[in-house]
Chains A and B, each alone.
Chain A
Amino acid sequence: MVKVKVKEKQNKVFICTGTGCVLSGSEKVKSAFKEEFKKRKISEIDIVQTGCHGFCQQGPIVVIQPEGVFYPTVSAENVSRIVEEHLIGGEVVEDLLYEDSRTGKKISLYKDINFYQKQNRIVLRNCGQINPEEIDDYIESGGYKALEKVLNKMSPEEVVEEVKASGLRGRGGAGFPTGLKWSFAQKAPGAVKYVICNADEGDPGAFMDRSVLEGDPHSVLEGMMIAAYAIGASEGYIYVRAEYPLAVKRLKIAVEHAKKKGFLGKNILGSSFDFEIKMKEGAGAFVCGEETALMASIEGKRGMPRIRPPFPAQSGLWGKPTNINNVETLANIAWIITNGADKFAAIGTEKSKGTKIFAVTGKVKNGGLVEVPMGTTLRKVIFDICGGIKDDKKFKAVQIGGPSGGCLPTEFLDTPIDYESLTQTGAIVGSGGMVVMDESSCVVDLAKYFLTFTQKESCGKCVPCRVGTKRMLEMLERMTKGESDEKELVLLEELARDVKVASLCGLGQTAPNPILTMLEYFQEEFEEHVKEGRCRAGVCSELIAYVIKENVCRGCGVCKKHCPMGAITGEKKQPHEIDVTKCVKCGICMQHCPFDAIYIAK
């Protein structure tokens, strides 16, 4: 390995303070650096807190700039060595570096890590690179240049044309062309118009919006400002989930800073453009991610969707023309204006331009946020960038697009990820959640899981969604208990199709997607559940039993001690036994058995 000789001056310590890294202890690491610097009387090195790097599994992440030396999973104890050996001694601390799981080699530089190397970061351009709580950091990295450009040199019509030409499509799920959406709001008559940023990232398993808001809030504000200028709005709202307290905090700081610098308020940058932004915190309703429901919620009502038309561009918030865009969509805007629509349109496929961020989680080695050009294959994302399946198990399926998306098996790994290709398979790009499953995940259980979610979040306004999801969920519950039959499988599919076409809003229209794709691609597994009462993954607890292998058990009593139900009996040094009538199948005994004597009988 070539050792990087570190420059002695101008070092900066970048510490990730995104939610993931904070949870792994980055605040302690930050304090440890401060203390170490105090102890050694170092004052010329800055400690910079940054937003999310997207490689949350490796947190807390510390990057030493300007070289970009990447230290993963840093603990407070490691800090003195980094200071001593790297910052003072000028040598990279090799054993603390990231190790490539495939080659076993240590990698020192951020940009050389496979996970980052294969990405194309446009939306995440500043995440992890700047301090999100300092507006000057954003300005130094070229921020607010796009706003300046549109105010000085472009007419609102030209801005809309530029966004249209870029081919950008809504990143919230539906993929509607952004420029076209803007043109509707622009052309709508009315003196009062609104711009709304939809930061109600409700899909379980998707967290790119959270990372962008925490790591680069100004890029979203700048996008909103440009949108407001283009459509002629002077007021904007950000509707953000209350489950993201750090994002809320950083957005508030960003809005304050932008006001002070004159990017918000009256006569922005000396132009005649006025704009202000208000924050609205959600109160815990998934359906509020749907645009008409979101607007009802801002108006202080129940967040229920309504029939469109009229579309928000005609009659939106308080009945005025309104333009709603998702966080990721807005974060693209400044880049497009600065770099030009052509450059953006050169990335991606014919109909899906630019990049998309995916939140890759589940049974994958290197989970996190991955931003890749549209059209990249699933295989590249899962196996190349994210390093494949955890513990080298076998890939079973990937659920794309959260509870509104679909579940795709191995045959589809070479499908390019773009709006059209994914729709053809029955899945959707959606918000970009990607949950990877191995053989130990059960699709029937997952179908039940998603439906439990959508059923709970159904607002109840329309019958197909309210009752349909409930009935489907009951069927799936019976299947996971082995109380169903083949007729019900047919009925489930029929009902799923009905709910899809008859529901009022996106929630109900897409809730059947996971079931329909699973029924199509994993029919065999459903049949096993209903015909044989068998769950091959060993997940559906009613269909399995925990059994102690008599010849392996040494009677150590560990399982007995840990069993919360007192279901295990046996004398010391004698094989133990599980009482099936008491066992709740929590699996704790199997986790604790030191001799692997407990197995799941399917």
Chain B
Amino acid sequence: MCGCACNTKKEDVKVQVDTGRVCELLKKYKGRRGVLVHALQDVQKEFGFLPGEAIGVIADEFDLSLAHVYGVASFYAHFYFTPRGKNIIKVCTGTACHVRGSKIILEGLEEELGIKAGETTDDFEFTLETVSCVGCCALAPVVVVNEEVSREKNPKKIIAILKNKKEENDE
């Protein structure tokens, strides 16, 4: 459910896709080879995920089948097909982090947020993910909170910091 009282389910959330904007993003890639992944990265940057409609536009513009474009996009872990939360928490599960207890942090966050890794909370505030390694092994375990690497191990604190930031912004 989303935060308001409208009873909208997460699956029903429709994002208005400005197809004109998608075409604009693709313009610089037209006629160039090997640009599909780049184009997908750009579109995702714009919308936060890859809306189905946008994938259709990409297929049309590049004269590829929808299956081909979706096949490439779904191959890579960095592409998402559903909207993600405002805050993205990634628990590093690299070897060094694993040996030093990243599992406990992940379970704590799952518990705290009421979602599993890979899911987004109903109010779209948080998305919880895992990442294979961010190369900060000497400081393991680490968590990436909105692109920033953190050594905070307490799930409650990680979320509290984000919530406080939100309140500050709201004020």
Binding site for B on A (CB under 8 A): 19-20, 22-24, 55-57, 59, 201-207, 210-211, 242-245, 280-286, 297-304, 318, 359, 361-363, 367-368, 399, 402-403, 433, 435, 437, 441, 446, 449-450, 453, 457, 459, 564, 584, 586-588
Are B136 and A300 in contact, with the CB atoms below 8 A? no
Q: Give CA–CA (A57, B140) in the complex, Å.
A: 9
Which residues of the partner chain A approach B104 to less than 8 Å between Cβ atoms? Answer: 586-588
Which residues of the partner chain B approach A19 to less than 8 Å between Cβ atoms? Answer: 134-136, 149
Q: Give CA–CA (A244, B78) in the complex, Å.
A: 13
Are A303 and B75 in contact, with the CB atoms below 8 A? yes
- When the two chains form the complex, which single residue of A204, A303, A584 contacts B95, counting CB atoms closer than 8 Å? A204
Q: Give CA–CA (A459, B74) in the complex, Å.
A: 11
**If the complex has contacts A283-B41, A441-B99, are A564 and B94 also in contact, measured as CB distance less than 8 A?**
no
Are B100 and A362 in contact, with the CB atoms below 8 A? yes
Q: Give CA–CA (A513, B135) in the complex, Å.
A: 22
**If the complex has contacts A300-B35, A300-B38, A362-B96, are A367 and B138 also in contact, measured as CB distance less than 8 A?**
yes
Interface presence of B8 (CB below 8 A): no
Q: Give CA–CA (A83, B104) in the complex, Å.
A: 41
- Chain A proximity of B62: nearest CB distance (Å): 9
**If the complex has contacts A283-B79, A302-B72, A402-B95, are A203 and B133 also in contact, measured as CB distance less than 8 A?**
yes
Interface residues on B, range: 35 or more
**If the complex has contacts A23-B136, A283-B79, are A449 and B41 also in contact, measured as CB distance less than 8 A?**
no
Are B96 and A57 in contact, with the CB atoms below 8 A? no
Q: What residue of chain A has the Cβ atom nearest to residue B149's Cβ?
A: A23
- When the two chains form the complex, which single residue of B34, B99, B139 contacts A23, counting CB atoms closer than 8 Å? B139
Q: Give CA–CA (A59, B138) in the complex, Å.
A: 10
Which residues of the partner chain B approach A23 to less than 8 Å between Cβ atoms? Answer: 136, 139, 142, 149-151
- When the two chains form the complex, which single residue of B40, B41, B71, B107 contacts A584, counting CB atoms closer than 8 Å? B107
Are B139 and A204 in contact, with the CB atoms below 8 A? no
Interface presence of B111 (CB below 8 A): yes
**If the complex has contacts A283-B41, A435-B96, are A201 and B135 also in contact, measured as CB distance less than 8 A?**
yes
Q: What residue of chain B has the Cβ atom nearest to residue A283's Cβ?
A: B76
**If the complex has contacts A201-B135, A204-B94, are A299 and B34 also in contact, measured as CB distance less than 8 A?**
yes
Q: What residue of chain B has the Cβ atom nearest to residue A244's Cβ?
A: B135
Interface presence of B137 (CB below 8 A): yes
Q: What residue of chain A has the Cβ atom nearest to residue B71's Cβ?
A: A302
Which residues of the partner chain B approach A433 to less than 8 Å between Cβ atoms? Answer: 95, 137
Q: Which of B111-143 contact A (CB under 8 A)?
A: 111-112, 131-140, 142
Are A368 and B138 in contact, with the CB atoms below 8 A? yes
Interface presence of B88 (CB below 8 A): no
Which residues of the partner chain A approach B38 to less than 8 Å between Cβ atoms? Answer: 280, 300
In the assembled complex, 19 residue pairs joining A and B whose CB atoms fall closer than 8 Å, in A order, are A19-B134, A19-B135, A23-B139, A204-B98, A206-B135, A207-B138, A243-B134, A282-B76, A283-B79, A285-B77, A297-B37, A300-B35, A300-B36, A302-B72, A359-B137, A362-B95, A446-B98, A457-B132, A564-B111
How many contacting A-B pairs (Cβ < 8 A)?
A: 146
Interface presence of B147 (CB below 8 A): yes
Are B37 and A300 in contact, with the CB atoms below 8 A? yes
Chain B positions 79 through 107: 1 when the CB is less than 8 Å from some CB of chain A, otherwise 0: 10000000000000111111110001001
Interface presence of B33 (CB below 8 A): yes
Are A363 and B99 in contact, with the CB atoms below 8 A? yes
Which residues of the partner chain B approach A20 to less than 8 Å between Cβ atoms? Answer: 136, 138-139
Q: What residue of chain A has the Cβ atom nearest to residue B64's Cβ?
A: A300
Interface presence of B108 (CB below 8 A): yes
- Chain B proximity of A362: nearest CB distance (Å): 5
Top 4 closest pairs, chain A to chain B, by CB: A284-B77, A204-B94, A56-B138, A207-B135
Q: Give CA–CA (A59, B137) in the complex, Å.
A: 13
**If the complex has contacts A283-B78, A303-B76, A564-B108, are A24 and B37 also in contact, measured as CB distance less than 8 A?**
no
Q: What residue of chain B has the Cβ atom nearest to residue A287's Cβ?
A: B75
Q: Give CA–CA (A20, B137) in the complex, Å.
A: 9
Are B76 and A24 in contact, with the CB atoms below 8 A? no
Q: Give CA–CA (A299, B68) in the complex, Å.
A: 14
Which residues of the partner chain A approach B40 to less than 8 Å between Cβ atoms? Answer: 283
Known: A203-B133, A586-B104. 16 other contacts (CB 8 A): A23-B151, A56-B138, A59-B139, A202-B132, A205-B95, A207-B137, A243-B131, A283-B79, A284-B77, A286-B132, A299-B33, A303-B76, A318-B34, A361-B137, A362-B99, A399-B95
Which residues of the partner chain A approach B100 to less than 8 Å between Cβ atoms? Answer: 362-363
Q: What residue of chain B has the Cβ atom nearest to residue A242's Cβ?
A: B78
Q: What residue of chain A has the Cβ atom nearest to residue B142's Cβ?
A: A23
Q: Give CA–CA (A22, B140) in the complex, Å.
A: 14
- When the two chains form the complex, which single residue of B34, B94, B97 contacts A298, counting CB atoms closer than 8 Å? B34
Q: What residue of chain A has the Cβ atom nearest to residue B138's Cβ?
A: A56
- Chain B proximity of A261: nearest CB distance (Å): 27
Are B95 and A202 in contact, with the CB atoms below 8 A? no
Q: Give CA–CA (A243, B71) in the complex, Å.
A: 22
Q: What residue of chain B has the Cβ atom nearest to residue A541's Cβ?
A: B103
Q: Give CA–CA (A283, B45) in the complex, Å.
A: 13
Q: What residue of chain B has the Cβ atom nearest to residue A299's Cβ?
A: B34
- Chain A proximity of B89: nearest CB distance (Å): 15
- Chain A proximity of B146: nearest CB distance (Å): 12
Q: Give CA–CA (A55, B137) in the complex, Å.
A: 11
Among A23, A204, A243, A450, find the residue whose CB has the most chain B CB atoms closer than 10 A: A204
